[in-house]
Amino acid sequence: MRAMADDRRANPANRREMLLQLLRLGGAGAAVGGAGLWLAQRSQRPEEPAAPTVRHSFSIPPDPALPEMAVVQGENHTELVRAAVAALGGIRRFVSPREVVVLKPNVAWDRTPQQGANTSPEVVAEMVKLCWEAGAAKVIVADVSINEPRGCFARSGIGEAARSQGAQVVLPEERRFREVDLGGEVLASWPVFEPFLAADKTINLPAAKHHSLTGASLGIKNWYGILGGPRHRLHQRIHESLADLAGFMRPALTVLDAWRVLLRNGPGGGNLEDVVLKKTVIASTDPVALDAWAAHAYWNLDTGMLPYLEMAAARGLGSARFEDKRVESIQLLDSANLRP
Amino acid sequence: MMKYGAALAALAAALIAGCGGRGTADPFPRDDEASGWKMERQPRVFQADNLWQYIDGDAERYLQVGFDNVRNAAYQYRGRVEAAADVYTMKTPRAAAQVLDAESGLGSQPAALGDGGKVYRASIVFRKGRHLVRLVEYQDVPEGQKALMELAQAIARRLT
């Protein structure tokens, strides 16, 4: 300190120079600070908009004159689909002219139809035909496969089945997901496959199969296939997330493919011995009742073993008591045997 | 100098080719090592943190008992049969046994492969040490089962 004071006394020119230097520095500092503040204000990012809350209900108003579930057995795969939909009032009850309909088969695994891990291609093809008959503007077939999607759509036969009937197959590319708030207890903001957000109607086409975590994978579990992101995390609270999904996506109709049922070692399967030919298609306007029926019929699982059913029922999304539903059972005669 | 560089590059390539997963040799037979089978593409590897990207919904039963990695390869047999080969490397032999024992073997025959397994009409599952091997054919043809067994034996020979 003393040395500095001595310097000032010794050289007044230096002192003046130092003051000027300080002023310059102060000015420059103020300019930089001001510019920084201005830039900070200008570059302030707009707040990320919250993911929009979307709930998709395509539920059809109940009709007391019609059954709520149809269980159809027979020898011809496509006739089963047609008969099941007809029993519930016909396709025009579920699809209106000029609608964009998105069909959601299970195309999760790189497996052949015989291995029973995906929906049968015949079910998909027939449902596409029905939608055209109802006057749909566009029919889209989409799923977020677990294995490589192109391979899954090819090996399962679903890609070809859909395209051959004029449907558009949409594969789950990353750019086709949109973050939305699913408004569930476990499922909040989550990326959802866009075709399902833009649909006028959705129709669920699950396969009936065993699942190592839940015991069975049926209609409501099939909605996992509209989600992107790290959906494995949902398996930690699988029943809550299934109930959330049931609330988020309420299809116009669920058509469960039980032509082949993967009874064991699901959901991926692979052993032909685990697949049983049931030659059955079940359609319902109540997705909860349909799952309850199939879980009981094929795995003897009651609702106590599948808590998501009671959770979904408690939220008013359907009834886990399929016994109380109007169920029509149809046995189709083999049309080949009717020929002279 | 160039000579050393080339030698190092060759060594690195050999190491990469030889190690499909962490700490274990490549279990997948190459062309005609299993008669008639050809590998269709380079194997893929999934670790515990991304196993769900391969078998979402089925991953937990591996993770719960101690999983290290899975390697997946695609094969073709004489242009007629396609098959997927999965080699799950578990943390312990016991973990591999737990996964295998938990699977229903209804309709299967015992397999004389490694430490034991099951043979189905168009698929085979067996374990050897801490490895669990699953082979699935996509075409159910008469010569398929015998051919798949040859592929399984070739994989078993490679596993240590």
Domain that holds residue B15: 2-158
Contact flag A232-B59 (C-beta cutoff 8 Å):
yes
* Average confidence (pLDDT) over B68-86: 97
Report the residue count for chain B. 160
Paired tokens of A14: 């230096």
Distance of residue B7 Cα from the nearest chain A Cα, in angstroms: 37
Distance of residue A214 Cα from the nearest chain B Cα, in angstroms: 9
**CA-CA distance, A208 to A217, in Å (whole number)?**
6
Coil, strand or helix at A315? coil
Interface of A with B in 195-254 (CB under 8 A): 211-213, 217, 224, 230-232, 235
Cis bond upstream, residue A67 (ω within 30): no
The pLDDT, as a whole number, for residue B21 is 46
CA-based nearest residue to A143, from A112, A119, A166: A119
Any residues with CB less than 8 A from the CB of A15 and at least 6 apart, and which?
A8
The pLDDT, as a whole number, for residue B97 is 98
Q: Which CATH class is domain A56-338?
A: alpha beta
How many interchain CB pairs under 8 A, A with B? Answer: 71
**CA-CA distance, B142 to A212, in Å (whole number)?**
31
- What is the overall mean pLDDT for chain B? 88
Name the DSSP class of B155. Answer: H
**CA-CA distance, A185 to A90, in Å (whole number)?**
35
Which segments of chain A have a pLDDT < 70? 1-50, 53-55, 334-340
Looking from the CA of B70 toward its CB, the CA atoms found within 13 Å total: 26
- Residue keyed to tokens 């209900």: A57
Paired tokens of A217: 């994978």
The pLDDT, as a whole number, for residue A60 is 94
DSSP A193-216: EHHHHH-SEEEEE-EEEEETTTEE
Task: Say which CATH number the domain at B136 has.
Answer: 3.40.1000
> Is residue B160 very low, low, confident or very high in pLDDT (cuts 50, 70, 90)?
confident
Q: Per-residue pLDDT for B146 more than 60?
A: yes
The residue of chain B nearest to residue A233, with distances taken between CA atoms, is: B52
DSSP A240-299: HHHHHHHHHEE-SEEEEEEEEEE-SSTTT---GGGEEEEEEEEEES-HHHHHHHHHHHHH
Helices (H) and strands (E) in chain A, counts: 11, 14
* Average confidence (pLDDT) over B82-105: 97
Contact flag A270-B123 (C-beta cutoff 8 Å):
yes
Q: Per-residue pLDDT for B18 more than 50?
A: no
Contact flag B120-A272 (C-beta cutoff 8 Å):
yes
Query: Structure pTM?
Result: 0.84
Contacts of A115 in chain B (CB under 8 A): 136
The pLDDT, as a whole number, for residue B10 is 45
Contact A70, A330 (CB under 8 A): yes
Tens of pLDDT along B94-133? 999 999 999 999 999 999 999 999 999 999 999 999 999 9
Helices in chain B by DSSP H: which ranges? 2-18, 52-55, 60-63, 93-102, 144-158
Q: Which of B136, B140, B148 to mutate to test the interface with A (most CBs of A within 10 A)?
A: B136
Paired tokens of A8: 């000032």
Tens of pLDDT along A112-162? 999 999 999 999 999 999 999 999 999 999 999 999 999 999 999 999 999
Q: How far is CA A308 from CA A60, A238, A256, A305, in A?
A: 22, 8, 18, 9
Amino acid letter for position B60 = E
Contact flag A212-B58 (C-beta cutoff 8 Å):
yes
The residue of chain A nearest to residue B60, with distances taken between CA atoms, is: A213
Q: Which of B44, B56, B70 to mutate to test the interface with A (most CBs of A within 10 A)?
A: B56
Contacts of B136 in chain A (CB under 8 A): 111, 115, 270-271
The pLDDT, as a whole number, for residue A26 is 55
**CA-CA distance, A222 to A108, in Å (whole number)?**
9
Distance of residue A236 Cα from the nearest chain B Cα, in angstroms: 9
Sort strands A138-142 and A168-170 into parallel, antiparallel or unpaired.
parallel
Please give the ipTM for the structure prediction: 0.83
What's the structural domain count of chain B?
1
**CA-CA distance, A106 to A43, in Å (whole number)?**
46
Paired tokens of B29: 């037979």
The pLDDT, as a whole number, for residue B15 is 44
